[in-house]
Chains A and B, each alone.
Chain A
Amino acid sequence: MMMNMVTALNNAMDQILQSNEKAVVLGEDVGKDGGVFRVTDGLVKKYGPDRVIDTPLAESSIIGVAVGMSAAGMLPIPEIQFAGFMLLSFSQLVNHAARFRSRTRSSIPVPMIVRTPVSGGVRTLEHHSDSPEVYYSHIGGLVVVEPSTPYDAKGLMIKASRMQDPVVFLEPTKLYRLFKQEVPEDMYEVPIGKASTVREGNDLSIITHGTMVPVVKNAVEKKGVDAEIIDLRTINPLDEKAILDTARKTGRVIVVHEASLTFGPGAEIAARIAEKAMFDLKAPILRVASASLPYPFPGYENYYIPNELKVAQAIDKIMSV
């Protein structure tokens, strides 16, 4: 069935709720309104308000309540309306969700899927466009995924629902309705911790994820270079093997992400390549990222987010070495 990312995620949650009676969806406006992006549309009608819960407007309690539900045997799927608002629940995620398993020596794991829309490019208001993948990847204990296609979105969601870990599920707003693709109607899994090869190539490697996947694809197509494009899909734990394999294969690596440059995901990727595949490189690793600034108001976002030109310039630069 042809689906965009919104329908694919909706379909995944529908099937999770259908097949696992311990699963619940909770968050602000997830019920009657179906979520501000309609990702939970129709679920309250089908499963009722005890399983699709419109919570009071309080993010810390949405995640805190989810930790409690999970510890007591349920599978909560909390939605935080926008990534900027998720910082209000940061303590619950970092101090509790991430640590429950390790501090109880696996006696009380807290599986849950924390969903939130991320990244910009759609002219939203302040705090609606952040790319927070590194915040949650830095601490250990939280699995962080970010699909760039409807197929991966559904498969990663199903996989997350069968894991015994808290999964931070980042959904790029810009990709919600950007395109449709064939998505199986049955439940299927996309592995967590495995990158995908979007395009095979020999001259250079571009490692990316989320909103930057289509930007990189377009830039590569227009340049006509033989680039290998890797979509990380999972930010934590990183698929280091895929990263090193492509680095060794082409010897030229560009990392592209929408999160800001300084201490961004590119830093970790570049460091791992430098540690383990340095002598296979033909050129220094390049990073293309948003500027090291707070995400600006929407009038400036085009100047902030990397665009195709910026990717193309990086390709020229790395190929000239």
Chain B
Amino acid sequence: MIKNVFEGTVAYSQVMDENGKIDEQLFPKDVDDSMILEMYKKMAFARALDAKILSLQRQGRAVTYAPMVGQEATQVGAAMAMGPKDFLVPNFRQHGVFLAMGFPLEDIILGWRGYEESQKIPKDIRTLPIAVPVSTQMPHGAGVAYAQKYLKTGGAVLAWVGDGGTSEGDFYEAINFAGAKKVPMVTIIENNGWAISVPRGEQTGAQTLAQKAFAAGISGMQVDGNDVIGVYKAVKEALEAARSNNVPCVIECLTYRMSMHTTADDPGKYRLESDVAPWLPRDPILRVRKYLESKGLWDGAKEAALGEEQLKRINAAVEVAEQFKPDPKGMFDNVYSFMPEILQEELDAALAANWWQQAKEE
């Protein structure tokens, strides 16, 4: 006897196509033109900030930087779908989300200048700090989601991972926990096509990354990750289901890493311009601009004014970030809830020997 015991399908959805045309049937009821305009401005801001930090890095005014250009729709769309009680569990390429959540701009910049003070999370921003080792944040996401349910906060979790990160054990373990314990965790797989030099097709034999959800007993879907409205709609619905019924799920957003992995690598080593070319017309910002222009809501003058205003804000924040005075004592003060005597001794010795002065001059 043979019978079919499992069937799963992965649906792909898109609300706004690359020409700015809307699929009326899928268009979410809570979105109007003023909100689309807001999405547009947030995406433009994320891109302007990205260009700024990249240029600071090239001038030696920022540390190794991970650009997010091309991925604005996934990040802004998802962030705008979050409710006030929802919690973000980010990876490291997440400044579009942080911006849309209202994370202080100067702290985002300070982070890329290499100071822990940038990760001091403001009380009103519900997020964990960035996580660098890839996918290690995912079990935290399951834990934060368990806490939302246990503490009855009424919030859900938006946990974030890249395409490469879905190969890590932590990814499977986290979504499996979420499925087993039915906790309100929505996982975004920001599939930008590349894990440094390894393309998505070589990362796994699986046809989609979303289908990995089935192994955890939860649902998985794909969405055009360059369609800000499509991402918004998918994440909004998923977070609502998570909040009201503790239904975890996985949303794979198909986007593209238009730039390098970080400023430390050279994509010319491993990919061709012809790999990137098909993604140019799929730009997440361009399609919204086409839509807004077709509605008579946007034009060249408005674009120029927006660019100027955003750059002004960014430059002001850079100035604040660059005025930050590091205090190495902070390294010692924040390691434990108390100061061990032997650590105090190390701190006193460093101060007495005045060797931080030379360190500063280096």
Cβ contacts under 8 Å, B350 to chain A: 291, 303
**A84 and B115 in contact, given A57-B168, A294-B335, A309-B358 (Cβ under 8 angstroms):** no
Interface contacts beyond A58-B168, A125-B114, A127-B132: sample of 13 additional A-B pairs, CB < 8 Å, sorted by A = A28-B195, A29-B198, A58-B167, A88-B170, A291-B331, A292-B343, A293-B331, A300-B114, A300-B326, A302-B360, A307-B362, A309-B359, A310-B353
- A residues 36-57 near B (Cβ < 8 Å) are 36, 54, 56-57
Cβ contacts under 8 Å, A296 to chain B: 116, 331
Cβ contacts under 8 Å, A303 to chain B: 326, 328, 331, 350, 356, 359-360
Assess whether B84 is interfacial by the CB under 8 Å rule. Answer: no
Cβ contacts under 8 Å, A307 to chain B: 355, 358-359, 362
Could you tell me the distance between the alpha carbons of A58 and B350 in the complex, rounded to whole angstroms?
39
When the two chains form their complex, are residues A32 and B169 in contact, meaning their CB atoms are under 8 A apart?
no
When the two chains form their complex, are residues A298 and B169 in contact, meaning their CB atoms are under 8 A apart?
no
4 smallest A-B Cβ distances: which pairs?
A: A33-B197, A299-B114, A298-B114, A57-B164
B79 → A minimal CB distance (Å): 23
When the two chains form their complex, are residues A56 and B203 in contact, meaning their CB atoms are under 8 A apart?
yes
Assess whether B13 is interfacial by the CB under 8 Å rule. Answer: no
Cβ contacts under 8 Å, B356 to chain A: 303
B67 → A minimal CB distance (Å): 14
CB nearest neighbor in A for B205: A56
Cβ contacts under 8 Å, B326 to chain A: 299-300, 303
When the two chains form their complex, are residues A297 and B168 in contact, meaning their CB atoms are under 8 A apart?
no
Assess whether B259 is interfacial by the CB under 8 Å rule. Answer: no
From A60, A124, A262, contact of B342 by CB (8 A): A262
CB nearest neighbor in B for A59: B168
Q: Which of B2-10, B263-271, B278-286, B292-300 contacts A (4 or more CB under 8 A)?
A: B263-271
Assess whether A126 is interfacial by the CB under 8 Å rule. Answer: yes
From A33, A34, A60, name the one whose CB has the most chain B CB atoms within 10 angstroms. Answer: A33
Assess whether B310 is interfacial by the CB under 8 Å rule. Answer: no
With an 8 Å Cβ cutoff, the count of chain B residues facing the other chain is: 46
Assess whether A94 is interfacial by the CB under 8 Å rule. Answer: no
**A56 and B332 in contact, given A125-B63, A303-B356, A309-B358 (Cβ under 8 angstroms):** no
Assess whether A304 is interfacial by the CB under 8 Å rule. Answer: yes
Could you tell me the distance between the alpha carbons of A124 and B203 in the complex, rounded to whole angstroms?
25
Assess whether B56 is interfacial by the CB under 8 Å rule. Answer: no
Could you tell me the distance between the alpha carbons of A176 and B167 in the complex, rounded to whole angstroms?
29
When the two chains form their complex, are residues A36 and B116 in contact, meaning their CB atoms are under 8 A apart?
no
Assess whether B38 is interfacial by the CB under 8 Å rule. Answer: no
**A36 and B196 in contact, given A292-B346, A296-B116 (Cβ under 8 angstroms):** yes
From A28, A60, A126, contact of B169 by CB (8 A): A60
A291 → B minimal CB distance (Å): 5
Assess whether B220 is interfacial by the CB under 8 Å rule. Answer: no
A161 → B minimal CB distance (Å): 25
A118 → B minimal CB distance (Å): 15
**A297 and B164 in contact, given A54-B198, A261-B346, A307-B358 (Cβ under 8 angstroms):** no
Assess whether B245 is interfacial by the CB under 8 Å rule. Answer: no
Assess whether A188 is interfacial by the CB under 8 Å rule. Answer: no
- A residues 16-34 near B (Cβ < 8 Å) are 28-29, 31-34
Assess whether A85 is interfacial by the CB under 8 Å rule. Answer: yes
When the two chains form their complex, are residues A36 and B264 in contact, meaning their CB atoms are under 8 A apart?
yes
From A59, A299, A302, name the one whose CB has the most chain B CB atoms within 10 angstroms. Answer: A299
From B136, B265, B358, contact of A88 by CB (8 A): B136
When the two chains form their complex, are residues A33 and B270 in contact, meaning their CB atoms are under 8 A apart?
yes
Cβ contacts under 8 Å, A59 to chain B: 168
**A310 and B355 in contact, given A127-B133, A300-B331 (Cβ under 8 angstroms):** yes
When the two chains form their complex, are residues B360 and A56 in contact, meaning their CB atoms are under 8 A apart?
no
Cβ contacts under 8 Å, B115 to chain A: 297, 299-300
Assess whether A106 is interfacial by the CB under 8 Å rule. Answer: no
Could you tell me the distance between the alpha carbons of A204 and B116 in the complex, rounded to whole angstroms?
39
Cβ contacts under 8 Å, B30 to chain A: none
When the two chains form their complex, are residues A33 and B269 in contact, meaning their CB atoms are under 8 A apart?
yes
Could you tell me the distance between the alpha carbons of A304 and B168 in the complex, rounded to whole angstroms?
31
**A58 and B198 in contact, given A123-B114, A300-B115, A303-B328 (Cβ under 8 angstroms):** no
Cβ contacts under 8 Å, B136 to chain A: 88
- B residues 94-133 near A (Cβ < 8 Å) are 113-116, 132-133
A130 → B minimal CB distance (Å): 11
Could you tell me the distance between the alpha carbons of A158 and B70 in the complex, rounded to whole angstroms?
44
When the two chains form their complex, are residues B195 and A57 in contact, meaning their CB atoms are under 8 A apart?
yes
From A36, A88, A127, A291, contact of B346 by CB (8 A): A291
